[in-house]
Amino acid sequence: MPDFDLAVIGAGPGGYVAALRAAQAGMRVACIDERSTAGGTCLNVGCIPSKALLSSTEHWAGLKSLADQGIETEAARFDLSRMMARKDKVVSDLTKGIAFLFKKAGVEFIQGRASIAAPGRVTVGEREISARHILIATGSAPAALPNVPFDEKLVLSSTGALSLGKVPDRLVVVGAGVIGLEIGQIWSRLGAKVTVVEYLDRILPGIDGELARNAQRILARQGIGFTLNAAVKTIARDGEAASVEIETRGSGELETLAADAVLVAIGRRPHTAGLGLEALGVRQDARGFVEVDAQFRTSVPGVLAIGDVVPGPMLAHKAEEDAAACIDALAGKAHGAPDYRLVPGVVYTAPEIAGVGLTEDDAGTSGRAFLVGKASFLANGRARAIGATDGFAKVTACAETGRLLGAHILGHGAGELLQELVLGLRLGTTLAEIAGTSHPHPGMGEAVKEACVAALSSAAT
């Protein structure tokens, strides 16, 4: 009999959710991770620490506007080391929570670097374990620029950029994606001169274009500089500083930006190095993603894969969905492959940027008749009362049936506001149903309702 029914490699939001779910279904489970704590990139060095620092720095940046409300804050100052210590505590409390859940469910956590020796056999350092099934949940790693490795001092990945010991005077951010904007905003609020260099002619590819344009305008007003249509060619280290060589697309003009730190946030790659997948014959696509079927089975029997190592949005909550579907299939329970069109995306800047489903741009090119409705937070009582009038809510819907096709929100708490629309999209809800649903007054959520009302009235005209 094998040592375990399931060996999960990787204890991130995909792996730990899979391990717990499998244990709850009665399987004997091991979860292996090279970090000493569970939680993966998301909890240890990604989503959670960045949200902790975004929160602390939002409080700091918000102090400037408090004088308007009769609150004097002239003597206020920040202590970066305490801010970082709080962030570390948020992380360690959460990782302890997972350790507790593992213990309670009887999941054995094994620390070490795992490789798959053969189907059913996993090597972790000196130890070899046997398992009926092996689940690869090793996530992703930051992509580096060619010939510019991360040193986490001058050339930073998100990991280094979330634990700097001092505020850099000049921070160049390569890539105006989710990581670049969130971490750029953290250091900008603390006083760094931040310049974001983006290859495309817009920020946040994939997000509704109107939202992205407005977000860029607001972030620029907060002091973040943007250089669009520019590719970073290389980064040269010069003692304590770096020079970033950028090439303007089209003209080919070269420019050099001096920086005290450079965050390279140009995407992430599936993390499969050292697992032995080639020798095992696990098929990967040209970009390195592990190929799986609807039940997350790879090309090798007994070897499964979920999360960032398989195609789909590289998001923690997508990995969790994969985990649930994969383990339910393994346990012989009814399941459906997750529908990635229903996976929301949130950028946790202030204002937040959140979206799910069809954007107005997608709807425009889809060839189908559609409705769009928008409501600005400027006209929202709660937004006025709390001083959060930036942004708007937008919905797209099918012109024939009135069913929701997508929702995109720029504004305070956009990620939470989006949730009713994610459910609405899943359930095939119509604009009229949302518009006819009572929303608390005064509430930011009234803008969601008003966007649906606006889309309906655009149909009537």
Q: Is 357 left (phi over 0), alpha (psi -120 to 50) or beta?
A: left
* Residue 244 touching ligand NAI (CB under 6 A): no
* Residue 12 touching ligand NAI (CB under 6 A): no
* Residue 314 touching ligand NAI (CB under 6 A): yes
Instruction: Give the total of residues touching ligand NAI (CB under 6 A).
Output: 27
Alpha carbon separation from 62 to 78, 362, 387, 441 (Å, rounded): 13, 35, 10, 25
Question: Of 192, 211, 265, 358, which one interacts with ligand NAI (CB under 6 A)?
Answer: 265
In this complex, which beta carbon is closest to ligand NAI, that of residue 145 or of residue 186?
A: 145
End-to-end CA gap in the chain: 70
Which region among 16-24, 208-216, 340-348, 366-374 touches ligand NAI (by CB under 6 A)?
340-348
CB of 249 to ligand NAI, least distance (A): 10
- Beta-strand relationship, 127-136 and 121-124: antiparallel
Q: Which one-letter amino acid corresponds to residue 18?
A: A
* Residue 211 touching ligand NAI (CB under 6 A): no
Give the DSSP letter of residue 115: E
User: What is the per-residue burial (b if ≥16 Cβ within 10 Å, else e) of 338-370?
Assistant: beeeebbbbbbbbbbbbbbbbbbebbeeeeeeb
In this complex, which beta carbon is closest to ligand NAI, that of residue 302 or of residue 313?
A: 313
CA 174 to chain centre: 17
Helix, strand or coil for residue 446?
Answer: helix
Nearest C-alpha neighbor of 124 from the set 24, 31, 60:
31
Q: Tell me whether residue 133 is annotated as binding.
A: no
Measured from each CB, the residue nearest to ligand NAI is 177
* Residue 231 touching ligand NAI (CB under 6 A): yes
* Residue 263 touching ligand NAI (CB under 6 A): no
In this complex, which beta carbon is closest to ligand NAI, that of residue 345 or of residue 351?
A: 345
Question: Of 10, 12, 180, 373, which one interacts with ligand NAI (CB under 6 A)?
Answer: 180
Which region among 68-76, 84-92, 169-177, 280-288 touches ligand NAI (by CB under 6 A)?
169-177
Has 441 been annotated as catalytic?
yes
Question: Of 5, 198, 208, 352, which one interacts with ligand NAI (CB under 6 A)?
Answer: 198
Q: Which two tokens stand for residue 288?
A: 């390195």
In this complex, which beta carbon is closest to ligand NAI, that of residue 316 or of residue 397?
A: 316
CB of 263 to ligand NAI, least distance (A): 9
Burial class of residue 256 in the structure, from the number of CB atoms within 10 Å of its CB (0-12 exposed, 13-18 middle, 19+ buried) = exposed
CB of 231 to ligand NAI, least distance (A): 4
Residue the block writes with tokens 């920040």? 78
Scan residues 408-427 and list those touching ligand NAI (CB under 6 A).
none
Alpha carbon separation from 100 to 38, 49, 174, 198 (Å, rounded): 10, 20, 38, 42
Helix, strand or coil for residue 43?
Answer: helix
Which region among 93-101, 174-182, 273-281, 390-398 touches ligand NAI (by CB under 6 A)?
174-182
How many angstroms separate the CA atoms of 335 and 362, rounded? 29
Q: Tell me whether residue 193 is annotated as binding.
A: no
- Annotated binding-site residues read 51, 138-140, 175-182, 198, 267, 308, 314-317
- Annotated binding-site residues for NAD(+) read 175-182, 198, 267
State the residues that interact with ligand NAI by CB under 6 A: 47, 145, 174-180, 182, 197-200, 205, 231-232, 265-268, 314-315, 345-348
- Which residue numbers are catalytic? 441
